[in-house]
Every structure is written in structure tokens, then in C-alpha cells.
Structure 1
Amino acid sequence: MIADALTPSIDGISSLVYGAGTLGMAVGIVVVWWLLRDETLDSDAGQFRYLLVIPAFATLSYASMTLGIGVFSVNGYDVEGMRYLDWLVTTPVLVGYVGHVVDVDRSVVYSAVGLDALMILTGFVATTTTGTVRWAGFAVSSLAFFLMLYIMFVQYPKRANTTTPERKRLFLRLRNQVGVLWLLYPVIWLASPVGFGLVSTLGTAMLVTFMDVAAKVPYTWVVHEHRGIFRNDRVDEVAAGSDPEATDATDAPVATAD
């Protein structure tokens, strides 16, 4: 995912943009909090605590950008360092959790996560440099991005160890949420001032913020919608125990020779 870290100076409009991003990400915290508080769910199977990292860190990032924290100047541009730190922390969780849903082999998941991190880091290089280095960074970041998509769309299904219909539905929704939506990020980068300058720095900030919220908050909500696949086994056991026939069979005396 290559995105424009260049933003205008912190003024009224940019503060509103980042403030809206902060509120949007906070919604994701509430959604994951519901999942963690639901005692009928198996938190270990769902790994919801890792999901909490996504909206929590993103909220912190956008709150910092709203206040102008973490901004530094490179080549005459103000760069939002917290945005890249946010992506470096949260996007590997997005990519990794997709594989977790269908229990993809860890080596394959780690490959996708590693490519995601490479994509972010080289995207940062592309944004904060000039000339040949900038376009080389963009090329490497784009290559890492498309290799990551290959793993998610081709290797994940092949290396899945759990493919029940319910898990497959959740897998497809999360994978498409990440893979398809992120295709717009290279386009935004190319249109931004650091690319061909077709969109202003403020316009780029607005687009990136909208895309960021759209990628992360619905992601957590989709998991919430499909939370039934993470039900505790004990719920089924209790239900079975309430079956009169099951109870009678359990409580029936054992026949003896006497």
C-alpha cells in the first residue's frame, strides 16, 4: 500500500479531516470491545485482542495527526510520521488475520505480512525522496503489494487448513475488503503532489483518511457479523445437556449382571 504522507500544515480543515478519522477509528474500538466482552465467544479462537490493535493504534495515530504530533519536514514537505507508523503496525494485522480465519500455514502468512511491511517501508522511501530513488521506491513497493495480493488470493486458499462454509465466507469478505480496496492506494499516490500532482495535498489527505477508515472499521464489523464461527464449544455442550433425551441417556443406570 503506497500512500501520500504529505499533508498541509495543521489548520482548521486538516484538523477536521483528521478529527473525523479519529472518530471513525474509535467506532472500530467499540466493535472489537463488543467481541471481547461476549462471553459466548472463544477469544482464543477469534484472536480478537489482535484485532483491537487495528482501531486502537489507528485512533492514536489520527489523534496525533489532528494535534500535529509526529510531523517532520523532508524535501520541503510536511510528512506525517504517525501515518506510516500506524500502517506498519496495523496493516500486517489486517493481512495476517485474513489467513488466521481459515488457518493458513504460518509460513505463508508470514510471507504476506513481510511483503506488507516491505510495501510500507519502501512506500515511505518513495514519498520522502526525489528523482530515481523515489520511483525505484514506488516500483519496489508496488511489486511487494502485488506479490502480497498473489499470496492472499492464490496461496491462502491453497494452504488453508480450515475451510468450513462459515469460515470461507468470512475469509472472502475480509480478503476482498483488504485486497480490492487497497488497489486504489497506488492510484492516489500517483495523483498526489509527490506523484504527478493531479490532487492537492489537502485533497490527498482527505482521500487517504477516507480510505483508511473504510479499510479498517468495516473490517472489524465484518468479523463481528460472523462472530458465530467463534462460539465457545461449551455453549453447544450446554444446549446438548438441556436435551431431555441426552439427559436421560446420561442419567440412565448402568445394567449389571445382578
Structure 2
Amino acid sequence: MQYPIEQQILWGYAAVMAAGAVIFAVWSFNRKQVPRYEYLIAFIIPVWSGAAYLSMAMGQGHIVKDGHLIYFARYLDWIVTTPLLLVALATTAMSTVPKDRVILWGLVAADVFMILTGLIADLSPRPEQYVWYSLGCAAFLIIMYVIWVHLRIIARSQNPSLYKHFLMTASYLTVLWFGYPTLWIIGPSGFGWTSQVTDTLMFCLLPIFSKVGFSLLDLSGLRRLHGRPVGKKGNSRKQSAAVR
């Protein structure tokens, strides 16, 4: 059963996502040399996520299995928005160099696998669900490895300002993303240590910061970097023009 307070929380989430989409749309009219795809990614994320949570706010997007409410719309949200977040972080790391498609597609594939195994885990009985949860966690660790080894090396090879920005955005996203498997396993889907309402609230607060919050942090930093001279061999405007 979905509680009225949950619907209010979900409506609030959808409103925040709408506000985020408007901000990124307005910023796109004055790009400050930041590539257009960065704004497109930042815009799509809250639009898609807001639509998914809007369905839950209207009493849709969930099923009841063995007395357990499963918000499958969350997974429909995550399977689109979390790969986009990783692409945004990866293109930030590759800001002034050619984009490594193997890394980009590898991150997307690992992320989709992680989300789908999470959905299967939510639909599975115990102890099978812990098998699927563990597989999802393994994919999550692979993603973290790519971020903190491969992407960090690429970012470091360019200029100190970009590297500092990458470390800040990667750290921000990493801390928040560790919250997802943690909340999942302690919530109604896992051990059941938290209530359904608390689970809904936390899975609204966390995505607000990891989606709109991350895009605000990333885009604002890129706008500063591309708007002033940085790097070893030239200014950011020349570098950004070379990769657009």
C-alpha cells in the first residue's frame, strides 16, 4: 500500500526535477563555450527522472508482490539517468582530449547490468535476491574502478584545473552513489530495517543531490573552466573548440 505522505514526497521530487530542467535549459542559451551535449545530458536527466517519479506520485509505477511494494519506476528512471550521469562525468574527464568510446560504452554496459540485477533482486525471493544484489554490487565496484583509475588518469593528463574539477565531481558522485546499495539493502527490499515511508523519502533526497546537484556542480565548474585560460598549452576556449 502506498501512503499519502509518500505521494506528497514524490510530488515534491517531481517539482524539484522540473526546476532543475528549467535551470539547465536556461543555461544552455549562454553555453560559455561548454559543448551542447553537456547541457542536453543535464536536461534529460531531471526530465526523465521527474517523469518516472510523477508516475509513482499518481499511484502508478509500482506493483505489490508478497505484500511488498516494489517501485519498478525507480529502475526505469535509473536505467536511463545513471548511465547519463556516468557519461557526463566521463566527458568531463575527457574534456580536452578525444573521447574514449570503449570506456564510455563500458561504463554504460556495467551500469545497465547493475540496475537490471537490482530490479531482479527486488522481484526475487530470499536468498536468491542476495545473489542478484551481489552481482549488482560487483558491477558497481567495476564502475568505481573505471572512474578512479582510468578516468582519473585521463583527467590528470590534461591540466590541473580540469583535474581538480574532476576529482571534486567524481568524489561527490561516488559518495552519493554508495548510498544507493546501502539504502536498498537496509530498506524494505532488503533487511527491512527502515520503513516504507523512510525508504521513499531517502530515495527522493539521494537522487535530488546525485542528479540535479551533480549536474549543477559539474556544469557550473565547466562553465568557469571554459570561460578562462587553463591548461598547459592554451586556453580552454581553444581546447573546447577542438573537441566539439
Q: TM-score range by the shorter chain?
A: 0.7 to 0.9
Q: Unaligned 5+ residue runs, structure 2?
A: 230-235, 239-244
Measure the CA separation in 1 of the matches of 2:202 and 2:120.
Answer: 20
Select the structure of larger CA radius of gyration. 1
Show the counterpart of 1:108.
103
Tell me which moved more, 180-189 or 162-171. 162-171
Q: Does 1:205 align with 2:205?
A: no
Task: Note if contact 2:226-2:237 (Cα within 8 Å) is conserved in structure 1.
Answer: no
Aligned to 1:255: none
CA distance in 2, matches of 1:232, 1:59: 34
1:80 Cα deviation after fit: 1.7
Determine which of 17, 38, 42 is the counterpart of 1:47: 38
**Residue 26 of structure 2 is aligned to residue 34 of structure 1:** yes
Q: Does 1:84 align with 2:75?
A: yes
Query: In the alignment, does 2:216 pair up with 1:221?
Result: yes
What amino acid maps onto 1:217 in structure 2?
A: V
Q: How does 1:1-258 map to 2 (within 5 A)?
A: 8-9=1-2, 11-38=3-30, 40-44=32-36, 47-103=38-94, 105-160=100-155, 163-226=158-221, 227-231=223-227
Higher relative contact order (CA 8 A, sep 6+): 1
Q: 1:189 to 1:49 in 2, by over 3 A?
A: same
Q: TM-score, normalised by structure 1?
A: 0.80
CA RMSD of aligned residues (A): 2.4
C-alpha offsets along residues 87-108 of structure 1, whole Å, 9 cap, x if unaligned? Answer: 0000001011111012152211
**TM-score, length basis structure 2:** 0.84
Q: Which runs of 5+ in 1 are unaligned?
A: 1-7, 238-258
- Residues in 1 aligned to 2:47 and 2:142: alpha-carbon distance in whole angstroms: 28
Q: Which amino acid aligns with 2:75?
A: Y
Structure 1 residues 216, 161: closer, same or farther in 2, change over 3 A? Answer: same
Superposed CA offset, 1:86-142 (max 9, x none): 000000010111110121522112212211111110011111111232011011011
Q: Which amino acid aligns with 1:61?
A: A
- DSSP-derived class of the 1:131 partner: coil
